[in-house]
Structure 1
Amino acid sequence: MTTRLNPYLNFRDTTREAMEFYHSVFGGELTMSTFAELHASEDPAEQDKIMHSQLVTEQGLTLMAADLPNSMELTPGNNFSISLSGEDEGELRGYWDKLSDGGNVGMPLEKAPWGDLFGMCIDRYGITWLVNIAGEQPSS
């Protein structure tokens, strides 16, 4: 898998609706996981929220989105980040180190509940970056 750079959108309880709309526009394969499925929140009010969704098209477009937890502020117009994801840990850690240098690390790059390495930072120019390094894939 090559490293991907794509937009990551945030919504307040409308990710499912929005991503189904984008799916109708672009086609492709849409996957969605809830907070409950990923054991990402103990708040009963958040269990049906979308923790992560991804739309991948045959043309190579990738769009990701999630519902923000109730505790996080949503500001329309600033409700996006850029995602870097792939399997090359050295390459992605290098990007992480450079992007987070002089910025603000919101979540250190470490093992996430879904098994990958994941981190969030805001670079020195105010852009939010999500870095996800795929964990070892189960052998078939």
Structure 2
Amino acid sequence: MATRLNPYISFDGTARQAMESYRDTFGGTLTLSTFGDFGGAPAELADKIMHAMLETPSGFTLMASDTPPGMEYKPGTNISVSLSGDDDAELRGYWEKLSAGGQVGVPLEKQMWGDVFGMCVDRFGITWMVNIAGTPA
């Protein structure tokens, strides 16, 4: 898998509706994962979107989620840049450079979905998410 860079939008409980609308607009394949899909989510979060990805015939990739518990939803700052792929060395190199002089919100480490993930705000105020795909079982 090649490394990809794309926007990642946070919503306040409307991620499913927004992503379905974007699918209707751009076409393509929409994949939705809820907080409940990974177990342990409280009932009020079970159907909220933990991760959505729209891949269009034109080559656009748009990702989104509902704002997770404990994180502030603030319109105007709800778009991040996502770097994802399976090249561990390449993505860790990007992480080191992007997080240097910035603020790490989520350390780059293995997550419950099996991938290595981290989130930081770089020294210029841009939020970055880095996801390194886990090794298939």
* TM-score with structure 2 setting the length: 0.96
Q: Does 1:91 align with 2:83?
A: no
Q: Deviations over 1:78-127 (max 9, x none)?
A: 11100000010000000000000000001111001110100000000111
The Cα offsets for residues 52-77 of structure 1, whole Å up to 9 and x where unpaired, read as 00000122110000001243211111
Verify: 1:22 aligned to 2:25, yes or no. Answer: no
Contact 1:82 1:129 in 2 (8 A): yes
Aligned partner of 2:60 in structure 1 is 61
Structure 1's unaligned 5+ residue stretches are none
What does the per-residue CA deviation read over 1:6-39, in whole Å, with 9 as the maximum and x for residues that have no partner? Answer: 0000001100000000000110100001001023
Change (3 A) 1:27 1:67: same
Q: Percent identity?
A: 60
Q: Which amino acid aligns with 2:52?
A: S
Aligned to 1:72: 71
In structure 2, relative to structure 1, the CA distance for the partners of 1:61 and 1:49 (3 Å cut) is: same
Do the aligned residues in 2 keep the contact of 1:10 with 1:68 (CA within 8 Å)? yes
Q: Distance in 2 between matches of 1:42 and 1:28?
A: 29
CA RMSD of aligned residues (A): 1.1
Q: Provide runs of 4+ in structure 1 moved above 6 Å.
A: none
One-letter amino acid of the counterpart of residue 59, structure 1 = S
- Secondary structure of 2:2 counterpart: coil
How is 1:37-56 mapped onto 2 (pairs within 5 angstroms)? 37-39=37-39, 42-56=41-55
SS at match of 1:37: helix
Letter paired with 1:84: L
**TM-score, with length taken from structure 1:** 0.94
* Mean Cα deviation higher: 10-19 or 70-79: 70-79
